[in-house]
Structure 1
Amino acid sequence: MNRFFRGALLSLLAWAVCGCTYVPINRNPHADDPLAPVAVDLPRYMGRWFVIANVPMVDERDYVASCAVWTLRDDGRIEDAVMGRKHGFNQPETGTVFIAKPEQGPRNSVWRVRPIWPFEFIVMTVYVDPDYEYTVRATPDKDFVWILARRPEMSVAVYQSLLERLDLMGFDTSRFNKVVQFPEQIGQPGFHDVR
């Protein structure tokens, strides 16, 4: 398992065991409002999604060309592959495959991910557009969130509309940074620093 995913896993374990992961105070007036998952058509939702922006877990900031690849298994669970290139585009794509279990019911958008038994965390879909071109996934506590798209770019108008939607849901949108998907984005304002 590479350092990116080992770091993310260790962060999740510390968070689960200690409950003491530092997260800045969310000053959004809707911060305490519970998140409502939206329904998703699982077969349509599967495939490659590029991470456009996020409030990342631990070591995600050091990755470029980050994406998630979801594959529906015959047993109803989902292969959740997290991929990226550490420190630059000249590095190989690496990743880890987690197994996610969608909660029972018609929504299919709340997934229980178990990186190592007995620990698990919940990630839910809080938005998907009607054409399944953009989606937002988040943890119920709003500490971690990912804006994803089918293509590695997103228009400024769509990105701003998603931030406005997330602000109304109670997310601290000042914590979002864009993920570098193209070499010319390295070092640009609003993007994660790539080290």
Structure 2
Amino acid sequence: MKKTLLILCATLLSGCLGMPKSVEPVSGFELKNYLGKWYEVARLDHPFERGLSRVTAEYTARDGGGITVINRGYSEEKNEWKEADGKAYFVNSPTEGYLKVSFFGPFYGSYVVFELDRENYSYAFVSGPDTDYLWLLSRTPSVDPEIMDKFVRMSEARGFDTSRLVNVQH
């Protein structure tokens, strides 16, 4: 029984580190350029972010390897800031935009950068383990319409339901 439970848990947890078949992580990823503050411009909504505005993510290098993640957003309804602290690690190589991130102890989910402004690291398109998780991150609270159009076009081509996108207010 114990062995069966361990196998089931391992199978379920490893499923969270996958990615949609149509998504491929960027190569040539440079962590030092990715670190810092990012603004969430658009997302597919989830209970853990529902109702939040002014959402940001801050990435810093961890002593001993990995990345510290601090996600922050404002709840108008509760008139308070919500914050989640996490950690992230590269799944394969530090030059591939494929990481695992955890906000809840030993449970990790995929964080897949599938498009990136490689020149300035000014925007990133990010997927989770399946097509229910999608974010457009930017170094500024808004992006040019061309970037938003590219995000929608590339996301639709990969099977994301962009009709459900939430534009995050800042």
TM-aligned CA deviation for residue 34 of structure 1: 3.2
Measure, in 1, the Cα distance between the counterparts of 2:159 and 2:149.
Answer: 15
- Specify every segment of 5 or more residues in structure 1 that has no aligned partner in the other structure, as ranges: 1-15, 20-31, 182-195
Paired position in structure 2 for 1:74:
63
Describe the SS at the equivalent of 1:165: helix
* Candidates 65, 89, 93, aligned match of 2:54: 65
Describe the SS at the equivalent of 2:50: helix
Over 3 Å counting, the alpha-carbon distance change for 1:33 and 1:113 in structure 2 is: closer
Over 3 Å counting, the alpha-carbon distance change for 1:36 and 1:78 in structure 2 is: same
Measure, in 1, the Cα distance between the counterparts of 2:54 and 2:111.
Answer: 21
- Whichever residue aligns with residue 172 of structure 1, its letter is D
TM-aligned CA deviation for residue 41 of structure 1: 0.5
Task: Tell me whether 103-112 or 118-127 shows the greater mean CA deviation.
Answer: 103-112
Measure, in 2, the Cα distance between the counterparts of 1:169 and 1:132.
Answer: 22
The 5-angstrom pairing of residues 36-185 of structure 1 reads 36-39=24-27, 40-87=29-76, 91-130=79-118, 131-181=120-170
Question: Please, what TM-score do these two structures have when normalized by structure 1?
Answer: 0.70
- Whichever residue aligns with residue 162 of structure 1, its letter is F
Describe the SS at the equivalent of 2:22: coil
Measure, in 2, the Cα distance between the counterparts of 1:57 and 1:127.
Answer: 22
Question: Please, what TM-score do these two structures have when normalized by structure 2?
Answer: 0.79
Maintained 8 Å contact 1:134/1:148: yes
Structure that is richer in strand per residue? 2
Measure, in 1, the Cα distance between the counterparts of 2:81 and 2:94.
Answer: 34
Query: Which 4+ residue blocks in structure 1 deviate beyond 4 angstroms?
Result: none
Measure, in 2, the Cα distance between the counterparts of 1:101 and 1:109.
Answer: 10
Percent same amino acid among aligned pairs? Answer: 26
